[in-house]
Amino acid sequence: MKAYKGFNRHEDGTLWCRDFQYEVGKTYKFKGTPILCEQGFHACHEPYQCWVFYPNNGENVYYEVECDGTVIESLERDGKFVCTEITLVREIPAPENKFDNCWGFHDGYAMVALNDKYNFIGTKGKYISEQWFDNCWDFYNGCAIVILNNKYNFIDTEGKYLSEQWFDYHGYFSNGYAVVKLDGKYNFIDTKGKYLSEQWFDNCYSFQNGYAIVWLNGKYYTIDKNGKIIEK
């Protein structure tokens, strides 16, 4: 199977990955059980998927490889896999995309940084948005927090914003709801962008086991997922 792999190339020209030295044209076989990110030979299906693990920063190099034996695919949809047999075929040009930094894939997208701006890129090399953000966090359960002009929102894997409203703060989802802050008040929002309550609170804490604690007029209350305050 044709694939691609990134390497650290040392000053003496040798190729290394995970403290293991490789040579072009030589076939390597792993006799144990391959485990992703732990043991075996790792590679990616497309060249640009390699720079998440070996950033295209001018210090790493990329090779076409031939993989065989037992192959186990990553569940992160990041194009990575581990196998028990690998042969280095030839060096290839660095993948097209070059970033200041990049992170691992989650839900099919990796966060990348360029010129102090952030975006997400898919396993086929396509940006999730034409908009570059001031900051963002990795995808989790199909959505990611993005920040633009000191305002928060969520973006989904289709590049759509959760809400037309941008918030002063946006927490991660727990039990189907995330805490949001706007103009000094707090509420909860669901995955469709709908507020839990018409009442905005002085503070909120994330849902756990179907309930959350809210702070209103100097007192704590418990609220359920129907937006009903059930006890003081």
In this predicted structure, what is the pLDDT of residue 46? 83
What was the pLDDT predicted at 56?
Answer: 77
Q: Which two tokens stand for residue 197?
A: 């309550």
Distance between CA 173 and CA 63 in Å, rounded? 40
- pLDDT value at position 97? 64
Q: What is the pLDDT of residue 96?
A: 67
Answer for the pair 169, 152: CB distance below 8 angstroms, yes or no: yes
- Which pLDDT value is given to residue 53? 85
The pair of structure tokens assigned to 210 is 């179907």
DSSP for residue 49: G
pLDDT at position 189: 95
Whole-angstrom Cα distance, residue 140 to residue 178? 12
Spatial CB neighbours of 130, under 8 Å, sequence gap ≥ 6: none
Predicted local confidence at residue 224, as pLDDT: 94
The predicted pLDDT at position 178 comes to 94
- Cα gap 62→79, rounded to integer Å: 15
* pLDDT tens-place string over residues 191-218: 889 999 999 999 999 999 999 999 999 9
pLDDT at position 26 is 95
Spans of the chain below 70 pLDDT: 77, 96-97, 232
Among positive and negative, which fits the CA dihedral 196, 197, 203, 209?
A: negative
